[in-house]
Amino acid sequence: MLKTETPSTQHAQLDLYPTDQLVAALVDDQFRAVDAVRLASPQITAAINAALPRIAAGGRLLYVGAGTSGRLGVLDSVELNPTFSWPPERALAILAGGAGAMFTAVEGAEDDVAQGAADLLALLPQGHDVVFLLAASGATPYVLGALRAARGAGALTVGIANNVDAPVATQAQCGIVLDTGTEVISGSTRLKAGTAQKIALNTISSALMVGLHKTYGNLMVDLKPTNAKLILRAVKLTMHATGADEAQAKSVLEQCQFHVKVAIVALLKKITTDQAQALLAGAGGSVRSALAA
């Protein structure tokens, strides 16, 4: 039996726990998700190093999964645009059962190998694309079908699973095993198995964005200010990076559609936003390189 499906020996009387003990059991078990990701750090590092040159060359991030794993892939893909101004067409997710499965469980969809392959091929994968195959069990047929199709198309495959020797991890070029073990509620991989996958995805996509110069130091300088909160954040980030006051930061940001990178370079080098934009373009989007130019 897979570890993720094996009943926990620690909480056989879970339904008898008082609420405080139940909360403690559920929360404390989540720490094992962090431990599992930490142990997989070398595999995660290898995946990032393999993916970065492909993405820098114009590749896309493609996510494939079923159930909780698939929904986590969707979540990672959609958050890259507001956080890093990453083009939505370069972060796509497919989910067993289609888009509706994001909100309603579609039973049996995960068992269709051919549909997984067809859905992946519909995205027209190419050599520079990076495909994340997500499955807690590591053997979901839909995901394995997509994996084989992705490899056949020459894309880089990154398999993320929660069981040792899982096919999704062993058959991908980059396998990541998040060995989270048994769940407090037997087989409920929406718990720490899902948490570990979320941490791994956050780590991978964030590291890729840092490598693509979407940050300046640890500042999120390539966000897309699509609401009042993000506009205020853009102002605060610009102030922090440059020492400008609020009025000055906002004035320069208004001249460049609130593009924080451009405002920082313009303010620190005392140049126009058009000149700052040109410097950034010549520096591959790196604020540090543009400031040194």
Among residues 5, 79, 89, 107, which one is catalytic?
Answer: 79
Q: Contacts by 68-71 with C-beta closer than 8 Å and gap 24+?
A: 68/136, 68/189, 68/190, 68/193, 68/194, 68/197, 69/134, 69/135, 69/136, 69/140, 69/143, 69/160, 69/189, 69/194, 69/197, 70/94, 70/95, 70/96, 70/101, 70/102, 70/134, 71/95, 71/102
First vs last C-alpha separation in the chain: 59
Annotated catalytic residue 183: no
- Look up tokens 């040792």; give the residue: 164
Annotated catalytic residue 5: no
Among residues 5, 110, 246, 254, which one is catalytic?
Answer: 110
Which residue type is seen at 223? L
As annotated, the active-site residues are 79, 110
